[in-house]
Structures are given as structure tokens and as C-alpha cells.
A and B are shown apart, each in its own frame.
Chain A
Amino acid sequence: MALDLQMPVLVVDDYKTMIRIIRNLLKQLGFEDIDDAADGTEALEKMKQRRYGLVISDWNMEPMTGYELLKQVRADSGLSKTPFIMVTAESKTENVIAAKKAGVNNYIVKPFNAQTLKGKIEAVFSD
């Protein structure tokens, strides 16, 4: 799968400031079509209405967490192939393992920098 800077990206986080930070970093990386959602439920609704090329999601959100979103996305035949990067402060080994088992494509621990985000996105699309 090739990295396409024109593809729509969905950023999911309940913290508006973090959405703004990721949005700005993605713009710096060349992405132009960036959408956002405040939790897993809203993200899932948006994903059913539009085909996103990449989802970048926080873990800890109400009412639906990023982990639940990931599992629902992977269980939905229409969405299951969507690249999914978790960006979270949850940095316990069990979290990483659970996300990996649920089918996450990459995992970034907060706080992170632009280089890390860029590297992980490139890694997802070079696989």
C-alpha cells in the first residue's frame, strides 16, 4: 500500500488540543484532507460514511475507547483493511500487546514528536 498524501485521514481524540497538534503535524507532513472525531463512536459513524486512508486514534476516550474502535474496525469487513495507528499515553506492555493482537498497524506513545509520527506513518505504508 503506497502512502498517498491526498488520502483522507481521521484523527480521533477527546482532547481538542491533541487533535490540533496532530492536525498541524500532518499538514507539515503534506496531508491536506484531515478529519477528526472526539471518540470511538463518532469515529465509527464517520468511517461508515467515508472511506479513510488512515486512522490515528487515542486509546482512552469515553464512551468508546480507541481500543474498542480498533476491534470494531477490524471486525467490520468493509473497514477491516483501514490502516490504524494508536497514539496514546497508555504505555504498559499489556496495552501494546493487546493493540497488536487486535490488529493495530503501529503504536506511538505520548508525548511524541513529528519525526516519530512521520516514521510510523511511513512504516505502515511501506509494509
Chain B
Amino acid sequence: MTQVTRENVAQVIDFLEENKERGGDVSLTDVMHLAEVMSGSMHDFLATVQPAVTEELTAIAREISNMKSDIAQLRANDMTASKIPDAGRELDAIVQATETATNTIMECAEEIMCADTSDAEAYQALVSDKMISVFEACTFQDITGQRISKVVSTLNYIDERVTAFIERLRIPEGLDAELEESDADRRKRELILHGPQHAGEGVSQNDIDGLMNGGQAEIDALFD
């Protein structure tokens, strides 16, 4: 039987030496690299065993190589280093812009409400001036619309790559690991925090009024 060569063993030792200081911090890429080194070191040995086994191992090596390519296609570093932080900054800017515009509009409304109406001409001038400020403040909508489009593009970018990655790896539905409930999730569940609902999803003010006025019997009936 053909022996594993000294050079082959040296390659494996080099790999282990390079990574021994990492305290178990091994990535998927490292594992695949080790698999490549191992399979390369066993090349001569594998050539002597049964062709069927060789074929299987070659297929495994090809799959590993393809997976490396798929991971590269995912562009995970680009997502975490650039795309997702950029989207976060866009959302922050949207919050800031809407808050600024809301404050401007409310200041205008408050000044009009508190204005002296005894001088009709001065009052009219003030109202006209404040209305112009309101229109100006409303220009935020155009800019936030563009920012939201950029965030949607990022979500589509991530969705396309993750979907393609799942398809290439042929990950079946239902294989998802159970998610462990975080402290934040537990707080949301215990304090019934759902956040705003989309149109048609939550209950309307009329429905709420019905629940509030219906008494305990009506509420209890919902649980029957």
C-alpha cells in the first residue's frame, strides 16, 4: 500500500502549527482548508484504493470547493462591513429628518395658535410665513423616500444572496435550528410588546371601544 509522503504530513503539520494558538476559534473556511490539505496529502494513497471510494472522496472535495465559491458569492464581509451599517445609517437619518420636520411643523402650529389676532394684517403675514415653513419642512418626504429606497435595495441584496446560498447548499425547509429566546425577546413576550401593526392587522379604534365597553364577559368570550 502506498504510504502518505513526508511532504504530505509536513503540510498537515504546517496547517496545525499555524492555527494552534487560536484556542479553538476555527471558522468554516479553516475546516475546509484543512479538508483540502488532508485530501491532498492522501492523494497517492487514495489512488490505490477502490475507484468507487476515490470517486466519492473526489465528489466530496468538489463539494467543498464549490462551497468555498458559494461562500465567496455570499459576500458576507461586504454585508457586515458595508451594506448593513450603511442601511442603519440611512434609517438613523430618516428618524432624524422626520423628527426635525415634525418639530418645525409643530413650532409653526404653536406660534400660529399663540399669535395675537387683534392685528389682522400682522396675523395674516405670520400665518403665511409659517405656512411656507411648513411646506419647506415637508420636503423631508422626498429625501426620506430616497433613503428608504436605498434600505430596500440593501434588503433585496441580502435576500438574493442568502436565498441563492440556501439553494446552492440545498438546505431543506425545517432544518432551521431552534432559536433561543433572548432577554429582549422574553421582555417583549412578557410585556406584550408587538409594536405598530400594518393596516388590517391590529384592531381598530372602534373594535377597541367595543372591547372596552363590552365588559369582562365579552373579553372572556374571546378566550372560549
Contact = CB atoms under 8 A, between A and B. Distances in A.
| A and B: bona fide binding partners | yes
Contacts, number: 73
A109 B106 contact: no
Nearest to A17: B102
A60 B222 CA distance: 24
Given A67-B191, A68-B191, A97-B222, A21 B106 contact: yes
Interface string B196-213: 110001111101100110
Interface stretch (A31-39, A49-57, A76-84, A99-107): A99-107
Interface string A75-96: 0000000000000011111111
Interface string B7-22: 0000000000000000
B194 interface: yes
Given A24-B110, A93-B203, A107 B193 contact: no
Contacts of A107: 208, 211-212
A91 B192 contact: no
A108 interface: yes
Given A21-B106, A60-B193, A91-B197, A116 B211 contact: no
Given A17-B102, A91-B203, A92-B192, A24 B212 contact: no
Interface residues of A, number: 29
B81 to A, nearest CB: 29
B208 A59 contact: no
A34 B132 CA distance: 30
The 10 residue pairs across chains A and B that have the minimum distance between CB atoms: A91-B202, A89-B196, A96-B211, A65-B191, A91-B197, A97-B219, A107-B208, A17-B102, A92-B194, A96-B208
Interface of B: 99, 102-103, 106, 109-110, 113, 191-197, 201-205, 207-208, 211-212, 216, 219, 222
